[in-house]
């Protein structure tokens, strides 16, 4: 009697997962066929054959069995390739939960996205086989003296779990910047001043805003260390007192500051007063 397959389980999966084939006339089966890829069974009875799913390119395969002279009918099986994370955008952010996109391969059956020891992402949306949108888990407070924590972004799908590919599959949590002082606190346009504080590394901008309200102006700056920034008083400032603010990927963090950016004050002098 020719072998006949009535079902296979699972009908979609990835390599190194056991498959059970059920049917009739299976007692003499010596080979399981995934398309043209042969696999040796791990056990055989008259009604059941088991084997390990081989590593295959992603796609659909016809699964059949051969008993030496006869080959059975076939049933469709979909091989799900292992997920791969190629980039995370943005790849830096605050300790609080924030939205971002994960890009990669074979993501359409994603079941979870982990951010190292920080935890598992929420609001996972599968946009396509190559794109996810997620909300990062909130990170626990960092150890004193530590301003960042870089974690692997790991995706689990029906095709397995992704492996780290280095910087492309990582996300860096930033603690909030804190400005503790400024030297000098009064300066003229074009002069250099120094901001001191903590977790200033990764600063994305230094801005001046009049304390009484008005137009925001950005300053040129250089991050010297996590504790120090050298900046230049922007041109076109009128004589006034300004809030000087530092923004890093560590914002927002509402409990530190009303507007989410820690600041200090500097009084801009007119150029004539500096002579």
pLDDT tens, position by position, 10-61: 999 988 999 999 999 999 999 999 999 999 999 999 999 999 999 999 899 9
pLDDT in tens, 111-140: 999 999 999 999 999 999 999 999 999 999
Q: Which domains can be identified in the chain, with CATH numbers?
A: 4-79 (2.60.40.10), 84-174 (2.60.40.10), 178-274 (2.60.40.10)
CA-based nearest residue to 72, from 80, 63, 83, 85: 63
CA distance 83 to 158: 9
When computed from its CA atoms, the radius of gyration of the chain, rounded to whole angstroms, is 30
pTM above 0.75, yes or no: yes
Q: DSSP letter string over 166-232?
A: GGGGEEEEEPPPEEEEEESSEEETT-EEEEEEES-TT--EEEEEETT----EEE-EEEEETTEEEEE
Which residue has 């990927």 as its token pair?
249
Sign of CA pseudo-dihedral 192, 193, 198, 202:
negative
């Amino acid at each position: 009697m020719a072998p006949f397959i009535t079902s296979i389980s699972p009908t979609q999966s990835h390599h190194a997962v056991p498959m059970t084939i059920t049917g009739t006339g299976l007692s003499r089966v010596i080979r399981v066929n995934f398309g043209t890829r042969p696999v040796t069974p791990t056990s055989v009875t008259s009604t059941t054959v088991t084997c390990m799913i081989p590593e295959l390119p992603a796609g659909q395969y016809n699964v059949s069995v051969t008993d030496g002279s006869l080959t059975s009918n076939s049933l469709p099986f979909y091989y799900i390739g292992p997920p791969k994370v190629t980039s995370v955008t943005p790849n830096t952010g605050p300790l609080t939960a924030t939205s971002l996109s994960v890009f990669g391969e074979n993501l359409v059956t994603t079941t979870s996205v982990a951010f190292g020891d920080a935890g598992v992402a929420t609001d996972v949306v599968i946009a396509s086989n190559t794109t996810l949108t997620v909300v990062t888990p909130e990170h626990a407070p960092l150890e004193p003296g530590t301003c960042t924590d870089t974690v692997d972004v790991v995706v689990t799908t029906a095709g397995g779990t992704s492996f780290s590919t280095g910087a492309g599959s990582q996300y860096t949590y930033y603690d909030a910047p804190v400005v503790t002082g400024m030297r000098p606190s009064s300066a003229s346009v074009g002069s250099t001043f120094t901001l001191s504080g903590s977790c200033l590394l990764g600063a994305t901008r230094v801005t001046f805003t009049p304390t009484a309200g008005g137009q925001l102006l950005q300053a040129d700056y250089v991050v010297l260390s996590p504790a120090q920034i050298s900046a230049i008083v922007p041109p076109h400032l009128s004589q006034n007192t300004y809030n000087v603010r530092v923004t890093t990927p560590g914002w927002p963090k509402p409990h530190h500051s009303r507007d989410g950016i820690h600041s200090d004050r500097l009084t801009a002098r007119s150029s004539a007063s500096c002579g």
